[in-house]
Amino acid sequence: MYTYNDFDKSFIATRNAQFRDQVERRIDGSLTEDEFKPLRLMNGLYLQLHAYMLRVAIPYGTLNGGQMRQLAFIADKWDKGYGHFTTRQNIQYNWPELRDVPDMLDALAKVGMHAIQTSGNTIRNVTADHFAGASADEIADPRPVAELIRQWSTDHPEFQFMPRKFKIAITGSPNDRAVTRAHDIGLRMVEKDGEAGFEVIVGGGLGRTPMIGKVITDFLPQEDLLPYLESVVSVWNQIGRRDNKYKARIKITVHEHGIEEIRRLVDERFAIVKGSFSGIDQVRLAEYKTHFAAPDFVVKSEAVFKDAYHSDPIFRSWADTNLSAHKADGYSIVSISIKKHGDTPGDATSDQMRLMADLAEAYGHNELRISHEQNVILPHVHKSDLPALHAALKEQGLATANIGLISDIIACPGMDYCALATARSIPIAQEIATRFDDLKLEHDIGNLKIKISGCINACGHHHVGHIGILGLDRAGVENYQVTLGGDHTETAKIGDRAGRGFEAHELVPAIERVVDTYLALRTDKDEEFIETYRRLGLAPFKAALYPEAQADAA
Amino acid sequence: MTILVTDTGFTADTWDQGYTPFGEAANDVVSIDVPADTNPADIKITPTLKMVRIDFPSFADGRGFTIARMLRLAGYTGRLRAYGHVISDQYAMARRTGFDEVEIHQDLAARQPQEQWKFRSDWKDNDYQDRMRG
Amino acid sequence: MSKSFTPKVVTANDLLKGDVIYQTATGWTRDLADAEILTDEAHADLRLIEGSQQIADVVGVYLMDVALDGTAPQTTHFREAFRAKGPSNYVHGKQEVA
Ligand code: HEM
Ligand code: SF4
């Protein structure tokens, strides 16, 4: 893992001192709220419905046990003993007070963490495949490049007051777990004639106008990455719309000017910008690669694992759903579900965080990841340690066997916390998870992704959920719109809107009807929901959602 | 009256030759006023050009930073000034993108006195760009 | 008093704590029951401006609708109901101390 050098430490310390000063200057009136707002946002501080919210970056989702323990400490000392892991590989604290935030940032700095550019109209913290460096299907570990991008984008003087936010995601695997096609820039690591490079995708995004990104270049040599990114962002900073914030994202710029014109402008700028890079970034990249060297994997017997797998059905069920293939023999990637039925998706208590930190140190080569699906990953666990790990997780309510299943729901904070929300998301997620747990159906249903957003901004990725749910305010009543058939992977697709929305009490039965339709129509147990949907399209599901329309037509 | 900010704090304005609006600039123009929506490629860098003043209509509008950087990359070595609603917290950004100085109005100067600007006169330190570009 | 004008309360968040507050005749309160009820449009606009000027203490000042239950103000929209109570997934926020 990357560890901060003296430069990083000094940078963070000065930056925190600046923010402490900005807080004081807001309080003494030197800064108006209008002026303070972008400054606090640049440092991850929002104002929500009931309190401030501090969003802490977990760059490319990677952290170690000590860092996780510090997150728990911060939750206890300045918050209410828990934190919320988000789809953007952040953790959010929902209850800090303004004067405490500089202290919280200093506490983060102690373990090499920060909240810089987790918000505001800047380049946001870069996200990456949460299985990076562990997955069997990977071409290359994207994290050294992600770290390079983190440093380049941090405090970039040209890019702190842009038309809107700018999000970059990177994957080193052909199986896209980083949703690269729904980012302002998505990077896919590729190889051409033995040379390492990137496919660069621009103009993806969700929100009010969801768009799948377009390929601006199918092969960018590795050493051109930073000047090329800089050219894209610079062009957009200049021509992106500032008259209407809903049209400000680069997806709209690409849409309005066309990808060919954007490519031309970027190439033109790249010719000028490239000369301002000496190539030292590539030397640093080579150094960062050593930071992310694979741990020393051990070779030992898997007998304990096999015994437990055969003798303990609860362990077996967990192993079947929560483990993924590792590149090293004898190892597994463990997904710890932060989606216990009925709990708030993505919320972990400080005790749970401390346990996960301990387990990472004991069994996981001291590494943890946060996934965009709001779960925690132990990327490197030897199979022989899994039974002990599972037993420990059970003690803290962390052994739910539901990864990828219908109760592994992404939900944004919604109206319970968010000032922009039009309806709640969390109770909907709780109800759906509890209902399908009661029905004992979820293992039979198999892989099915439900994603819920509490407003059109789509923080809960509803557009790319197999079943997407969007909460709206319809004449003062919470109302939920359903989309079907979305896909967040390398075959990314925006879901189809089914029809009129549902009131909260109608929603769970409606989802049940969709699921029943799938169960009735699938060719066999191996055909997943999304495959059945692709085969049959919206019609049978729509009919199930709106039986009254069928009755009218009859 | 406006106030000029440099690394040493507030100073009196030493530029007394005025500015030609960008659209009216001839080839022998000495100083120009550049609006934020200007395409930097359209700014002609001539031997007579000594002062470029780029407008910041609002501190939230960062186009001026891109114009400044592109001008410098295109080889402009004359004086470069940021003008308008720039706040002290942006001073380092202005300097790092190539501005020499910032010109602000008195009401802003009253709210953000010169200590707040000098606090960021250390803009050369702790700069990730230095490390990435060499 | 204009006929179409419905009763309002000036609300905001506290600058330091960030929590929900309501304007009273003399300052701010954390309890909606103690808020000043504004039934005259011109007076409401004036009170909104006065509240907005207190930038050293409050942020995000706006007028919210209330319904009157006798003399006690009640929220009319679910967003304000959450602000007055707290989130639904934990007993946090105002409901915690209530
Ligand atoms: C609670 C305070 C939050 C606020 C005020 C907020 C605000 C926003 C806004 C305004 C957008 C739309 C941007 C646009 O289309 O230009 C957005 C998009 C998004 N946010 Fe949030 N958000 C919040 C929380 C979250 C959380 C908790 C997550 C992760 C779970 C998240 C992840 C995202 C994602 C993934 C998108 C859509 C992708 C895109 O940028 O197009 N946000 N957010
Ligand atoms: S989707 Fe809307 S409600 Fe949900 S967190 Fe984003 S802005 Fe808030």
Residue C43 lies in a domain: yes
- Topology of domain A1-119 in CATH is Alpha-Beta Plaits (3.30.70)
CA distance A262 to A273: 16
pLDDT band at A216 (very low <50, low <70, confident <90, very high): very high
How do residues A38-72 score in pLDDT, each as one tens digit? 999 999 999 999 999 999 999 999 999 999 999 99
* Mean pLDDT for the stretch of residues A245-256: 96
pLDDT band at A553 (very low <50, low <70, confident <90, very high): low
Work out how many CB contacts closer than 8 A connect A with B.
112
Cβ-Cβ contacts under 8 Å, A152 against chain B: 128-129, 132
Residue C3 lies in a domain: no
pLDDT at A554: 54
Q: What is Dmax (Cα atoms) for chain C?
A: 41
A5 — phi, psi (to 5°)?
A: -95, -175
How do residues A305-362 score in pLDDT, each as one tens digit? 999 999 999 999 999 999 999 999 999 999 999 999 999 999 999 999 999 999 999 9
Cα nearest neighbour of B109 on chain A: A30
- Average per-residue pLDDT for chain B: 95
Work out how many CB contacts closer than 8 A connect A with C.
73
CA distance B86 to B64: 10
Q: Which chains touch A (3 or more CB pairs under 8 A)?
A: B, C
Chain A interface mutation, best of C58, C79, C85, highest count of A Cβ atoms under 10 Å: C79
Helices A386-395, A313-322: axis angle to 10 degrees equals 100
C44 lies in which domain range?
8-97
DSSP H helices in A155-279: 225-239, 250-257, 259-273
* Mean pLDDT for the stretch of residues C18-42: 96
Q: For residue A298, how many other CB atoms are within 10 A of its CB?
A: 11
Residue C2 lies in a domain: no
DSSP H helices in A132-193: 143-153
Q: Is residue A551 over pLDDT 90?
A: no
Question: Is B80 within 8 Å of B109 (Cβ atoms)?
Answer: no
Question: Which residue in A7, A38, A276 is closest to B73 by CB distance?
Answer: A276
Name residues whose C-beta falls within 8 Å of residue A351's C-beta, 6 or more positions apart in sequence. A72, A396
Cβ-Cβ contacts under 8 Å, A279 against chain B: 134
Question: Is B19 within 8 Å of B32 (Cβ atoms)?
Answer: yes
- Pick the closest to residue C32 from C21, C18, C19 (CA basis): C21
How far lies A64's CA from each of A81, A115, A369, in Å? 20, 17, 8
CA distance C47 to C62: 10
- Topology of domain A142-291 in CATH is Sulfite Reductase Hemoprotein; domain 1 (3.30.413)
Cβ-Cβ contacts under 8 Å, A33 against chain C: 55, 59
What is the DSSP secondary-structure string of B72-121?
HHTT--SEEEEEES--GGGHHHHHHTT-SEEEEEHHHHHHS-HHHHHTTT
Q: Does A264 touch chain C (CB under 8 A)?
A: no
Helices A504-521, A426-439: axis angle to 10 degrees equals 40
Residue C20 lies in a domain: yes
Looking at the CA of A162, name the nearest ligand: 1
How do residues A343-354 score in pLDDT, each as one tens digit? 999 999 999 999
Cβ-Cβ contacts under 8 Å, C78 against chain A: 415, 473, 476-478
Q: Is residue C1 over pLDDT 50?
A: no
pLDDT at A549: 77
Name residues whose C-beta falls within 8 Å of residue A392's C-beta, 6 or more positions apart in sequence. A355, A358, A359
B104 lies in which domain range?
2-133
Residue C77 lies in a domain: yes
pLDDT band at C2 (very low <50, low <70, confident <90, very high): very low
Q: Is residue A452 over pLDDT 90?
A: yes
- Pick the closest to residue A39 from A106, A154, A120, A125 (CA basis): A120
pLDDT at C98: 62
* Mean pLDDT for the stretch of residues A505-524: 97
CA distance A530 to A432: 18
Mutate to test the pocket of ligand 2, among A457, A461, A478 (most ligand atoms within 8 A of CB): A457
Task: Please measure the distance between the N-terminal and C-terminal CA atoms of chain A and give it in whole angstroms.
Answer: 63
Look at the block and give the residue holding tokens 């059109």: A456
The residue ranges of every structural domain in chain A are: 1-119, 142-291, 303-395, 410-553
Which CATH class for the A303-395 domain? Answer: alpha beta
Helices (H) and strands (E) in chain C, counts: 3, 5
Q: What type of residue is B14?
A: T
pLDDT at A372: 86
Q: Do A275 and B73 touch (CB under 8 A)?
A: yes
Residue C12 lies in a domain: yes
Is this prediction's ipTM beyond 0.85? yes
Q: Nearest residue CA, atom 9 of ligand 1?
A: A457
Q: Is residue A382 over pLDDT 90?
A: yes
Interchain touch B–C (≥3 Cβ pairs closer than 8 Å)? no
CA distance A57 to A12: 13
Q: What is Dmax (Cα atoms) for chain B?
A: 41
Q: Is residue A482 over pLDDT 80?
A: yes
DSSP H helices in A276-329: 280-291, 303-311, 313-322
How do residues A517-534 score in pLDDT, each as one tens digit? 999 999 999 999 999 999
* Mean pLDDT for the stretch of residues B47-62: 97
Token couple for B31: 């100083």
Interchain touch A–C (≥3 Cβ pairs closer than 8 Å)? yes
CA distance A304 to A162: 55
How do residues A106-149 score in pLDDT, each as one tens digit? 999 999 999 999 999 999 999 999 999 999 999 999 999 999 99
Name residues whose C-beta falls within 8 Å of residue A477's C-beta, 6 or more positions apart in sequence. A503, C78
A457 Cβ inside 6 Å of ligand 2: yes
Query: How many domains is chain C built from?
Result: 1
User: Lowest mean pLDDT: which of A56-70, B12-26, C1-15?
Assistant: C1-15
CA distance C38 to C68: 11
Query: How many domains is chain B built from?
Result: 1
